[in-house]
Amino acid sequence: MKYPNLFSPLTIKKVELRNRIVMPPMATNLGSAFGEVTSELIEYYRLRAAGGVGLIIIENAQVDMYQGRSLTSQIAVDDDKFLAGLKALAEAIHVEGAKTFLQIQHGGRQCTPSTTSGLQPVAPSPIACKFLGVEPRELSTDEIKSLVDKFVQAALRAKLAGFDGVEIHAAHGYLINEFLSPYTNKRSDEYGGSFENRLRFLDEIIDGIRQLTGEDFVVGVRLSVDEFVPGGIDLEQGKAIAKHLEEKGIDYLSVSCGIYESVSTIVEPVNYEEGWRVYLAEALKKEVSLPIVTVGVIRHPEFAEKILAEGKADLVAVGRGLIADPEWPKKAFRGEEEYINYCISCNVGCIGELFANGKVHCAINPWAGREFSWGRQDLATCSKKVVVVGGGPAGMEAAMLCAQRGHEVVLIEKEERLGGQLLLAATAPGKDKIRWFLQYLERMLQKLKVRVITGEEATPDKILAMEPDVVFVATGGEPIIPEFSQLEAAISTTAWDVLKGKITPSKKEVAVIGGGMVGCETALYLSDLDNKVYLLEMLPQLAQDAEVITRIELLKELNARGNIIIMSNTKCMDVIGGRVVYLCEADPQTSELHVDYLVFALGTRPRRELFEALKGRINEVYLVGDARSPRKIYHAVLEAANFARQV
């Protein structure tokens, strides 16, 4: 066996796991607005169980609906009326051979009135979360004791519903974490102050669950062992808490980190290294004898195997990786790693959608969150000849899915290699993971024997001569360059050409016009080439088109660079050679900036000429990706898949 540690069984109490791969709890918003388990949620988890994972820990089930709800469609476990749905969920997972625990949670101060149906969030102390900005009210002692009982009753319901155990959510800045941390717990009663007092709330929950559920029912804890905020829990305190929890008799520890105020350490954006927080699990593994689960940007089977082989953890959590590819475990077991669709950490379809009160999806797996409504990817009733024009993400996705459905597919790309804007996106600093998606698509096209033609322009006549039944036009877009007085080609270029390496200025002064995500990434790229960069954006804030966590990291990096001058609220009025005339909102008079190069990052316009020429001449013609409307990888892939599954 290629990965003997990863695919060895492990027993926790009397629960035997078929392998060491864990799907950790990740919010989905696939529940109903009233807390019920839905068919969407069941199918989402069933497919991950069928994909070969050993253990699925179901997302944060609410113990206090609506007071503790941190999502608009979070499942609940605070009433017997939820048992039927929870039973169906546990059964669906068990049928596919996986074990399952239910995570029980209360959002505490990391809730907002929009999720709590107007109720003011509660916390151990009335300290607002700086990320959300909502001040909570302090819980009374009687309310705390009532919440202990709510957690205990929730665990009992989990057992009655057929779950193999529960995971107490004491991480990520939610209510229990707030009691544990000196950063958020400023109480002076029995639930605050000393180390022992701050742990009292969790201790009473564990004791109560044990009394009601018995010794054989698995009780684990997810813990932020480092909050990464000044005055919060650090690793040394995390170790002390872990030792205490072992003495309390918990059955395993899931080692995590961060709170909302350090949110990029919880759901890492693309620039974080694979497995960067394994060191936290390794540190606790040396302190306690409990089974330890490690998590955090673990993407490749060989990396997971190495963690286990080196004794840094007992179980490896593959989170977003299982959203991107539910069959990650089966493919790893079969030695088909090259066909795993590895998560690229873009955060757009998963946490990005949740922040917008949407349902969990995935930029590179359009089926994620749509498993129930879209159904299986079956063979088409009859094979058709499909021509796809454009080898960017939309075109490659369409070609792959049409081939999987049994169609004869030809893909034509005018450049010498496939990738389109994936190649540009992967060139930006810290975004090399995007190449994983490109490599996956290329390998799948090869495996499916799709005929790929590169370095050739697809004209209407060429396409018609191929006599296709279906044509996908994925011709992408082109960068927008506005008209100015004297735009000199020798010193003016686009962000695309910079990221392609067509122009590589060094030790120059460069103005980047446009502070969206592409402009910001281009500024960082030019900064790495030792240029002085002026970043002009007409809006008050940079990168407003970026996903929230990615934006936080992007702005942090921009502000840390001494050679990037940020000029927001600044509109470029004219360009005359190397002279930029601009108007700043704070000054009614125009000003000038003299630079060596100008780089335009003002967006993209679609290229639809081919589509217009083919309309009415072929029965099925689909316009997808940036050719339809310039957006993100997420939208291009979704659009292509939605049409392809219907061909």
**Residues identified as active-site:** 174
Q: Work out whether the CA dihedral 554, 555, 557, 562 comes out positive or negative.
A: positive
Sheet holding 564-567, edge to edge: 492-494, 597-600, 509-513, 532-536, 564-567
> Where does 418-516 show beta strands of DSSP type E?
451-454, 470-473, 477-479, 492-494, 509-513
The tokens for 441 are 């698509």
Residue 297 CB partners (closer than 8 Å, separation 6+): 268, 272, 273, 274, 275, 276, 277, 345
CA angle centred on 566, ends 561 and 569, rounded to 5°: 160
Buried b (16+ CB within 10 A) or exposed e, 496-528: bebbeeebebeeebbbbbbbbbbbbbbbbbbbe
The beta-strand segments (E) located in 280-381 are 292-294, 315-317
Residue 571: phi and psi, rounded to 5, are -105, 130
Q: CA dist 445 to 403, 405, 415, Å?
A: 8, 13, 17
Within 8 A by CB and 6+ apart from 176, the residues are 106, 108, 168, 169, 170, 201, 202, 205
The pair of structure tokens assigned to 455 is: 């370095």
CB-CB contact of 167 with 104 (8 Å) = yes
